[in-house]
Amino acid sequence: MKVLVVYATAGAGHRKAAEAIYDGLKSSGRNAEIVLADSLDYTHPLFKESYSGVYTLLISKAPWLWGFFFGLLDISVLRPLVRVIRRVYNGVNAGRFHQYLEKEKFDYIISTHFLGNEVSSALKRAGKIQSKIISVVTDFDVHSIWLGEGIDYYTVASDWTQRKIISLGVPENMVYLTGIPTHEKFSVPKNVSELREKMGLHKDRFTVLLATGSFGIGPIEEIINELKGFQLAVICGHNKKLYERLNKFSSELVKVFGLVNNMDEMMGLSDVMITKPGGLSISEALVSGLPMIFFNAIPGQETNNINVLATYGVGISGCSVAQMPAQLKKLESSPAEYTSLKEKIKSLARPNAVKDIIRIIPQ
């Protein structure tokens, strides 16, 4: 058996979800050839560069425009036209990806990004591949761009997400409620005191993790200034310029980190996370049992994530930077409220998402 786990580098979440599934498959002991691939590696170089570059530009400089197009592409009457345009667009720019899928003849394609969904399902409809296709939706809401005739199974984050995708016309027997896949290390219990000491933090201080997302955007300096007196661990992601700027805040109570590969430990040592509401970041925090305060949500998928989580009472949103200290003090001083938040998180967390997705593939 040959299994492809495919993603697209447009933000870190799609890649991290794919890597979690890939690692889970490799450690499952299955007699299969497992391949991990970035679909953008099989596109025209200019297309690859612009794909993530335009996305980064829009969400950082004109998020309202990104939100406009996100909503426009999800209007039901426009969906047939959008499908045609996407097919032509991907056919022109992702020719090598089409050829790769035809040549390799994978038995299963697990896709954590809608580009992989669109190309593989189009090839299947044309009879050029016979692969079983699993679409792993990496947000709590479902945009219609994730859907495609020829996809065999969809995995979703929550029962709300399950109801939404069924309402879009996907048969119930094709939808699996698994959660968004996270690496198993996030569900491993942590020794909080040891981790804080390891990272140079006070072991007995209420600790806030400030995660800026992979792009490192938002009013980070303003948040740090407002949270004076709190112990902070700040993660800058790929944004090296932000890391250099924030070094001036480094102190006994403020530790600044660049791109880290131990996010499970950073979440494990924290009491609360202030974060952008990306699907993977949320899922990792849920599995880690970490209450969240959201900021700088991207219009579209991130604001929709917040709205879905609000139905479960998970996550604090609509909180201005100036209001963050009061929210944190409230959580620090009210064990009952903090415990209540943790219980709501526990009810939504899906630590076995990877195993549940892998189970879809027969032994």
Q: Which two tokens stand for residue 174?
A: 């094709």
- The ranges assigned to domains in the chain are 2-177, 187-348
Q: Tens place of pLDDT for every residue, the chain, 363 residues?
A: 999 999 998 778 899 999 999 999 999 988 899 999 999 999 988 888 888 778 878 887 888 898 998 999 999 999 999 999 999 999 999 999 999 999 999 999 999 999 999 999 999 999 999 999 999 999 999 999 999 999 999 999 999 999 999 999 999 999 999 999 999 999 999 999 999 999 999 999 999 999 976 666 778 899 999 999 999 999 987 778 888 888 888 899 999 998 888 999 999 999 999 998 999 999 999 999 999 999 988 889 999 999 999 999 999 998 899 999 999 999 999 999 999 999 999 999 999 999 999 999 998
Give one DSSP letter per residue of 243-296, joined into a string.
Answer: HHHHGGG-SSSEEEE-S-S-HHHHHHT-SEEEE---HHHHHHHHHHT--EEE-S
Residue type, 327: Q
Query: What dotted CATH number matches 2-177?
Result: 3.40.50
CATH topology of domain 187-348: Rossmann fold (3.40.50)
Task: Please say whether the dihedral angle defined by the alpha carbons of residues 247, 249, 252 and 254, taken in this order, is positive or negative.
Answer: negative
Does this model's pTM top 0.75?
yes
Number of helices followed by number of strands (H, E) in the chain? 16, 11
Are the folds of 2-177 and 187-348 the same?
A: yes
